[in-house]
Amino acid sequence: MDYQFAAIEKKWQQFWADHQTFKALDETTKPKYYVLDMFPYPSGAGLHVGHPLGYIASDIFARYKRLKGFNVLHPMGYDSFGLPAEQYAIQTGQHPAITTEENIATYRRQLDQIGFSFDWSREVRTSAPDYYKWTQWIFMQLFNSWYNKAADKAEPISKLVEHFEKNGSSGVDSVCDDEVLSFTAEEWKAMGYESKQTELLKYRLTYLRESTVNWCPALGTVLANDEVKDGFSERGGYPVEQKKMMQWSMRITAYADRLLTGLDTIDWPEPLKEMQRNWIGKSVGALVKFRISSPTQPSPVGRALEMGEGEVKVSPTGGDLVGAIEVFTTRADTIFGTSFLVIAPEHDLVKPLTTPAQKAEIEAYITQTKKKSELERMADAKTVSGAFTGSYAINPVNGEKVQVWIADYVLAGYGTGAVMAVPSGDQRDYLFAKQYNLPIVPIIDIQNIETEADPTKEGRYINSGFINGLTYKEATATVIAKLEELGVGKAKINYRMRDAIFGRQRYWGEPVPVYFKDGLPHLIEEKDLPLILPEVDKYLPTESGEPPLGRAEGWSYKPSGPAPSKSPPVGETLKPNPNAHLTGNYRETADPAYYEQLKDYSIANRQNPTEAENVLWQLLRNDQTGYKVRRQHAIDQFIADFVFLQKGLIIELDGHHHKLNKEADDARTEVLNYFGFTVMRFTNGEVLKNSTRVVEQIKETLNSLNDRDITKFSGTAITSEAKVSPTGGDLEGAGEGFQYELSTMPGWAGSSWYWYRYMDANNDSEFASKQAVEYWKDVDLYIGGSEHATGHLLYSRFWNKFMKDVNLVIEEEPFKKLINQGHIQGRSNFVYRLIDDLGKGTNTFVSHGLVKQYQTSPIHVNVNIVENDILDTAKFKAWRPEFENAEFILENGKYICGVEVEKMSKRYYNVVNPDDIVKRYGADTLRMYEMFLGPLEQSKPWNTNGIEGVFKFLRKFWKLFHDDAWNFSVSADEPTKAELKSLHKIIRKVEEDIDRFSFNTSVSSFMIAVNELTEVKCNKKSILQDLVVVLSPYAPHICEELWVLLGNAAGTLSYAPYPKFNAAYLVEDEFAYPISINGKTKMNLNISLSLEPKDIEAFVLASADVQKYLDHKVPKKVIVVKGRIVNIVL
């Protein structure tokens, strides 16, 4: 029978599915091989021909490895949480789970018909509760861990607590951006529960913190840095703005160095490694403190000092040196060339540094920069602008007084947000100095700074004090040593990478397994996993701006098991949920029992004061302010740290976690204000560093306040008059459970560990069994797109390293070998509509070759009605009603379409669906053609134009096994030498090509082999059977069919041994040596390969043809490379 691909393919796909042919073994003596594809997001559009490219390559590889005797794990699944399904849900009200389910069904159908050898018994879906249970579980492990810099690995947080209890904070190397507290073991033990937890949150690998985030108002969510491109969201292209929000973050920066060095151990494409290196952005340099010299403005600077803001440090001596600006530089050697300092407009010190004279100018500049969009800022990159603060700073190495400016070319988010400007060496500083007439001092003898900065590191230093005459290397070391000696600087490694924001204010994602109690995040119990995504009425934020999960009714955490102990944890105070956001929704407490409980808490608090509380208590007690003060006093539903009841003044000591709970604190202040209280807040640091000033401020405030009018707020009147809505709150014992975290996890959460789930996909007691992890270890070959370089691939490496640290997995790197398949671009076709005299489009279309003779406008035409760029005019007329009566101006009787390479997209009518290709040519042709298109890693436009060649090849291959009447017919005769040679050439070629992932050249070689065998009319079973095995990874269906026709058992081909290459069949006794004269090939001569170079030379020179060229001249030189070439130099 002729090659009936449709029937053959259907039959074998069914067979493989029924027999689970590709199920990976869990127990075997075979070596393992793990071939993985990046799993797809199941979008509504289904697959186009570009998607399977990588899957086909990996499938060929997986099938090849099976033939080579490996136990191959080749799984597939779906990254099924994500924005598009949710956007669709918002528009249609359709639950994302339903659309996701439908899309997955489409994907599965499309994948199945291409004949992949996936082990579907291990399928994963990130949106399935039995999967995201483990995503949540890993989140919990991260929460329960911290990064021990000394050991350079993550450890359980309990070990940190142990350390604190024994040694206090000394000896702990922090990896936190925030300032951590210093304390002794005793002080730690004396800390309240809340303070302890707040402090620990600064160490946990996933943590809650107020951070500047990329907020996308259109999507209603925050985005990670890698999801933002040029100030717009990667998905949808909506504008993104910076905003401060309380957010979950992942402390990926703790792993910055390991992520960087690990790159050297893995076989990945160099560009991709480079992208990760840039993203991590390690720069080695120094921190330098420039003391501020400004007698004109002591008070604002002084205030900033006490607030512990920025980098201002208290000057022990006082005087006019009231603080310092800390800068980061990679060129400490150029410090003598510093002619001014520049700080970012958003820098904390801008306000205190601005003198009254400069105030207007600075404010105007800040307003101007704020108005500039991200794009405008980038467009302005070549110009510089700024404003002088009026303050000066002192260069620590030479005591020189330099101006402090603000400018938007200095970024608040990088380094310290401040730079020392060295115009002679830095082009931006140079431009700035020129523009504002600031000094430019050359500091290296060979420097040429006539027209631009010269960042040279060659030459010797001049104008540079104690480093004059030194080289770059010497100077850098000397300067840093000197700075350290002076206590004003130190060597510092800076990373560009920031911690990854982990929360999304969206519905369709993994719920974070956290609830809030007393304003602090707590993990739910492990036995309560998975925390199921609740149902909501709408997939939109709530009216009060909370994420969609805020709509879930009755969704709160009620710890099961034994009720929590009645006596509250020591030192615990009640604080609002930080997630309650600004509005301050506090329930009125009419419950006397609850008030009693509060009083118990108060007593406990009083017995366990913090150090700062104690200090302040000593200063305020016994009416030292003239008013009676109470501490840890229950007011309504709060416990105030200190309260002057008569004046209605509440003093709150917040420690450094103040920032953490800022929104909640603000909310509480609002409510207390409503009840007639004034609230003052101080940090523990302020009290400890300058208690006198704190007390003075309290006294001032007390004196400025009238007595509190308690009659206005008494009894039930409070409750009934309360304007605040009783929605939020997290009050213990309220009987409603605790508020869950309302954000969900970002898209990359589920994909950061999925390759481990495939190892043991159906395990419901572990993410994967230890046994499975130890057997499969890591991914041997990973194929996917380079667009995941700084997202998925970085986060996965991070989670993997963490999981290794806590002994969940055994490999440091998850993906040993990675290949980026190129993108398949669209190839658009155009027709050219004639434009009439009035400039209007007519119904006449001009063939591409003739467009220059007419006035036309191009129109995209559906590529599926075009073949080899020739338009099917009948189909064109039927394509759209408006073209029904179209007329054509043809060339050579054909309408030729124009061509352009664009993104494959519906709107360009250039989408080619693999279904259509499979229907017309079959899966085997599609598979081979996609490989034949070119090197896997190269991006290329899809062009169906050459697919006939591959189809013809498969028919020709099929024909080898059949006689002219299409009857199956092979002979048992001994193969000839030529046949064996053809076979063994392809056996070796496929092995070599697959080792370097050169699939396209293998397809060519198959064609050569089949052409050669057809030429000699080979139908020898021994040859053809081996050929079937070698071709089977590429064209599995046709090969399975022929394998069985050859008399083998069905289903055994996938595990048949790969034919053994025998070099003996390729040995030649003669070689047609190319003979070149002066490097130009003139002829070929057949010479025995047994001849040695000397004899070859004699033979060649004696040849009559060669003599003709020599023309009686004596060659200057004859080069003979055995088996390669002969070159005669005249």
Partner RNA sequence: GCUCAGAUGGUGGAACUGGUAGACACGCAGGACUUAAAAUCCUGUUCCCGUAAACGGAGUGCGGGUUCGAUUCCCGCUCUGAGUACCA
Give the footprint of RNA on residues 883-922 (CB under 7 A).
892
**Tokens read off for 572:** 């615990």
1067 binds RNA (CB under 7 A): no
- CA gyration radius, the chain: 37
Among 357, 375, 411, 486, binds RNA (CB under 7 A): 411
Among 351, 457, 496, 877, binds RNA (CB under 7 A): 496
Shortest reach from residue 630's CB to RNA, in Å:
47
Nearer to RNA by C-beta: 423 or 548? 423
DSSP string, 1070-1110: EEEEEEEETTEEEEEEEEETTS-HHHHHHHHHH-HHHHHHH
Residue numbers 312-331 binding RNA by CB under 7 A: 328-331
405: which strand partners? 342, 388
Residue numbers 243-272 binding RNA by CB under 7 A: 270-271
952 binds RNA (CB under 7 A): yes
872 binds RNA (CB under 7 A): no
Among 478, 998, 1022, 1048, binds RNA (CB under 7 A): 998
Residue numbers 428-487 binding RNA by CB under 7 A: 428
Could you count the other beta carbons within 10 Å of the beta carbon of residue 175?
Answer: 19
Say if residues 1098 and 1090 touch (Cβ distance below 8 Å).
no
Nearer to RNA by C-beta: 475 or 664? 475
Shortest reach from residue 381's CB to RNA, in Å:
4
* In the block, residue with structure tokens 């899809």: 942
Q: What does the per-residue mask of binding to RNA show for 976-995, with x meaning CB under 7 A? A: -------------x--x---
Among 15, 120, 137, 414, binds RNA (CB under 7 A): 414
Shortest reach from residue 471's CB to RNA, in Å:
19
180 binds RNA (CB under 7 A): no
Nearest Cα neighbor of 892 from 860, 845, 843, 849 is: 849
345 binds RNA (CB under 7 A): no
Residue 749, classed as helix, strand or coil, is helix
Nearest Cα neighbor of 75 from 772, 835, 801 is: 772
The region of 6-14, 115-123, 410-418, 853-861 touching RNA under the rule CB under 7 A is 410-418
Among 222, 305, 419, 488, binds RNA (CB under 7 A): 419
Nearer to RNA by C-beta: 673 or 1011? 1011
Q: What does the per-residue mask of binding to RNA show for 620-659, with x meaning CB under 7 A? A: ----------------------------------------
The region of 310-318, 554-562, 919-927, 1078-1086 touching RNA under the rule CB under 7 A is 1078-1086
Half-sphere exposure of 738 (CA within 13 A, CB side): 26
The region of 420-428, 661-669, 739-747, 804-812 touching RNA under the rule CB under 7 A is 420-428
Nearest Cα neighbor of 294 from 325, 316, 317, 322 is: 322
Nearer to RNA by C-beta: 100 or 464? 464
Shortest reach from residue 87's CB to RNA, in Å:
22
Nearer to RNA by C-beta: 11 or 955? 955
153 binds RNA (CB under 7 A): no
Shortest reach from residue 1079's CB to RNA, in Å:
3
**Which residues 6+ apart lie within 8 Å of 1108 measured at CB?**
none
60 binds RNA (CB under 7 A): no
367 binds RNA (CB under 7 A): no
**Tokens read off for 297:** 């403005």
945 binds RNA (CB under 7 A): yes
Among 1004, 1022, 1048, 1103, binds RNA (CB under 7 A): 1004
Among 377, 401, 473, 919, binds RNA (CB under 7 A): 377
Say if residues 778 and 811 touch (Cβ distance below 8 Å).
yes
**Which residues 6+ apart lie within 8 Å of 1114 measured at CB?**
none
Write the DSSP symbol of residue 733.
T
Residue numbers 767-826 binding RNA by CB under 7 A: 786-787, 789-790
**Tokens read off for 298:** 């002591």
**Tokens read off for 1080:** 């130009």
Instruction: Measure Cα distances from 1100 to 21, 1082, 1096, 1128 in Å.
Output: 59, 12, 6, 10
393 binds RNA (CB under 7 A): no
**Sheet with 514-517, side-by-side order of all strands:** 520-523, 514-517, 738-740, 556-557
How many residues belong to the chain?
1130
Nearer to RNA by C-beta: 861 or 1126? 1126
Among 300, 841, 849, 935, binds RNA (CB under 7 A): 935
Residue 695, classed as helix, strand or coil, is helix
* In the block, residue with structure tokens 């700084």: 790
Residue 396, classed as helix, strand or coil, is coil
934 binds RNA (CB under 7 A): yes
Dihedral sign from CA coordinates of 433, 437, 439, 443: positive
Half-sphere exposure of 698 (CA within 13 A, CB side): 31
- Interface with RNA: number of residues (CB under 7 A): 86
384 binds RNA (CB under 7 A): yes
Strand boundaries in 630-732, DSSP class E: 630-635, 638-644, 649-653, 678-682
Shortest reach from residue 870's CB to RNA, in Å:
7
DSSP string, 895-946: -BPEEEEE---GGGT----HHHHHHHH-HHHHHHHHHHTS-TTS-EE--GGG
The region of 39-47, 206-214, 805-813, 1072-1080 touching RNA under the rule CB under 7 A is 1072-1080
Helices (DSSP H) in 416-495: which residue ranges? Answer: 427-436, 472-486
Shortest reach from residue 439's CB to RNA, in Å:
17
Taking the C-alpha atoms of residue 914 and residue 916, their distance in angstroms, rounded to an integer, is 5
Describe the crossing of helices 270-280 and 792-805 by its angle, rounded to 10 degrees: 70
Shortest reach from residue 368's CB to RNA, in Å:
11
Shortest reach from residue 83's CB to RNA, in Å:
19
Taking the C-alpha atoms of residue 1103 and residue 1124, their distance in angstroms, rounded to an integer, is 18
Shortest reach from residue 1088's CB to RNA, in Å:
15
283 binds RNA (CB under 7 A): yes
Q: What does the per-residue mask of binding to RNA show for 158-177, with x meaning CB under 7 A? A: --------------------
Shortest reach from residue 62's CB to RNA, in Å:
22
Nearest Cα neighbor of 734 from 584, 605, 574 is: 574
The region of 560-568, 719-727, 806-814, 1115-1123 touching RNA under the rule CB under 7 A is 1115-1123
Nearer to RNA by C-beta: 242 or 719? 242
282: which strand partners? 495
The region of 501-509, 737-745, 908-916, 1114-1122 touching RNA under the rule CB under 7 A is 1114-1122
